[in-house]
Amino acid sequence: MTVSKAAEATAKGAEAARARRDASDEAGEALQLGELSEQLGYVLKRAQLKVFENFLRCMASLQLTPAQFSVLLLVEKNPGRNQTEIASTLGILRPNFVAMLDNLESRDLCARIRSTNDRRSHILVLTDKGKAVLGRAKKLVATKHEARLNELLGGANRESLIAMLSKIANEF
Amino acid sequence: MTVSKAAEATAKGAEAARARRDASDEAGEALQLGELSEQLGYVLKRAQLKVFENFLRCMASLQLTPAQFSVLLLVEKNPGRNQTEIASTLGILRPNFVAMLDNLESRDLCARIRSTNDRRSHILVLTDKGKAVLGRAKKLVATKHEARLNELLGGANRESLIAMLSKIANEF
DNA sequence: CGATAATTGTTATTGACCATATCAAATATC
DNA sequence: GATATTTGATATGGTCAATAACAATTATCG
């Protein structure tokens, strides 16, 4: 609660000095990021937000979020799995996965089928429409989303970036 | 809502085949990630979660979140700025920044000072305790957090990773 | 100057996401 | 066959992000 007089004086000095410069200059100058721009977590988070934002724009016509896209991809690759298995490999908690599936099922993209082996579980399958939509989604991701990344980093860098991020995701 | 008979049959077939294999094997085998492991957004998000998790563990003794750490860093580097300026450069909306500052101020890490130039705005300053805590935080980040990253990737890769992420954050 | 517009910090509120506890039905275990 | 475990589901709470609105202050401009 107590700010040292020295600190307050320093702050006022800095504010006054900036105000003086701003009087001559037009717009308030940008802040110094300093060590922040070297912080892994900071730059990682901001990059992730930008990538998701771009993903949503690319997918606007299909109305698929990154999470929904990942579910469709995983179900396509692993037909015959139940909700718990799909959810847990995606890091989604089972309770939170229910509404997500309700959404996808209501849009006729995937379906729950009561398993005959274990009548507690629901087997997940893509509908025909789900397969078609996923196919279009993949094309959009490839031509709009990943293409933008290649353009920005180059193919080789893109691969090494993915590799490093995977390593962090798996071993950090 | 209708699943094609073919799709359902395929799903049942896959489930049955897996059940047969599982009968001989012990645990249910892992799912195939497939194209998911190449998706930038997917691996980026998972890496970010892991990094934040590790950051919180390293900072447990100081009780600083990544967002709080970034605020302290930015205020230290830019004394004499007001809430709007600090918040907006961090991508935090002004309304959401209020509670954050309430927290930091209640812990005596930073303080709001009514500006004499513009009596609407609050100038932000680190308290002496705030400076001390930030100093300890930086040491913890360097020795525990970033060190782990270096150990995992190597210094050169670490730098190129940060550079690529910055590029994505700024230009994607 | 004075009326109007814009800015600053703040509150209230909403929606998205994440996490825990709990439940009924079904299955596994002993 | 009694008990424990698993599966999908519901309810609920917490943390963030986003918008609207407000009082106090300052800027703008006739």
Of chain B residues 42-61, which have a CB less than 8 A from chain A? 42-52, 54-55
The reply to whether B42 falls in a domain is no
CA angle at A86 for the pair A169 and A143, rounded to the nearest 5°: 65
Among candidates B111, B49, B51, which has minimal Cα distance to B82? Answer: B111
Same domain, A14 and A53: no
Domain residues for the domain of B71 are 51-171
Residue B29 confidence class, pLDDT cut points 50, 70, 90: confident
- The CATH number of the domain holding residue B114 is 1.10.10.10
Look up the ipTM and state it: 0.91
Q: Is A95's CB less than 7 Å from nucleic acid strand D?
A: yes
Residue B43 has pLDDT above 60, yes or no: yes
Query: What value does the mean pLDDT take over residues A19-34?
Result: 69
Average pLDDT over residues A62-68: 98
Both A41 and A8 in one domain: the answer is: no
In a domain, B29, yes or no: no
Determine whether the interchain pair B80/A18 forms a contact, defined as Cβ–Cβ distance below 8 Å.
yes
The mean pLDDT value of chain A amounts to 91
Look at residue B23 and tell me whether its pLDDT is greater than 60. no
Q: Which of residues 13-72 of B touch strand C (CB under 7 A)?
A: none
Question: Mean per-residue pLDDT for A125-149?
Answer: 97
Q: What is the pLDDT of residue A74?
A: 98
Average pLDDT value for residue range A24-32: 69
A23: Cβ–Cβ under 8 A, 6 or more apart, which residues?
A: none
pLDDT of residue B47: 98
Pairs across A and B, CB distance < 8 A: 261
Task: Indicate whether B1 belongs to any domain.
Answer: no
Work out the average pLDDT over B98-124: 97
**Percentage, residues of chain A above pLDDT 70:** 84
Q: How many domains does chain B have?
A: 1
A18 — pLDDT class (breaks 50, 70, 90): low
Positive or negative torsion for Cα B143, B146, B152, B153: negative
Domain match, A92 and A11 both: no
Task: For A29-56, write each residue's pLDDT tens digit.
Answer: 789 999 999 999 999 999 999 999 999 9
Question: Are the CB atoms for A163 and B40 separated by under 8 Å?
Answer: no
Q: Does any domain span residue B20?
A: no
A113, A135: one domain:
yes
Q: Chain B, 84-123: which CBs lie within 7 Å of strand C?
A: 84, 94-95, 97-98, 101-102, 112, 118, 120-122
Does any CB of chain A come closer than 8 Å to the CB of residue B81? yes
- Considering only A46-55, B19-28, B76-85, which range has the smallest mean pLDDT? B19-28
Residues paired with residue B36 on neighbouring β-strands, in sequence order: none
The average pLDDT across A9-14 equals 67
| Contact at CB, B162 and A55, closer than 8 angstroms | no
- pLDDT tens for A72-100 read 999 999 999 999 999 999 999 999 999 99
Confidence of residue B74 (pLDDT cuts 50, 70, 90): very high
- pLDDT tens digits along B144-163: 999 999 999 998 999 999 99
Is the pLDDT confidence value at A25 over 50? no
Residue partners of B153: CB distance under 8 A and separation at least 6: A164, A167, A168, B161
Please tell me if residue A139 touches chain B, with a CB cutoff of 8 Å. Answer: no
* One domain, residues A26 and A40: no
- In this structure, are A113 and A158 located in the same domain? yes
Is A90 found in the same domain as A149? yes
Based on the fold, state whether residues A149 and A91 are members of the same structural domain.
yes
Residues A147, A98 share a domain: yes
- Lookup: tokens for B110: 């930073």
Alpha-carbon distance of B31 to B9, in angstroms, equals: 20
The verdict on A40 and A26 lying in the same domain is: no
Q: What is the mean pLDDT of residues A112-116?
A: 97
Segment A110-116 shows an average pLDDT of: 97
Q: Examine the domain organization and report whether A19 and A56 are in the same domain.
A: no
Average pLDDT over residues A105-110: 97
For all residues of chain B together, what is the average pLDDT?
91
> Residue range B14-18: average pLDDT?
69
Band the pLDDT of A27: cuts 50, 70, 90.
low
State the Cα–Cα distance between residues A79 and B25, nearest whole angstrom.
Answer: 19
- Residue A125's SS3 state is strand
Does A20 lie in the same domain as A40? no
Q: What is the pLDDT of residue B115?
A: 96
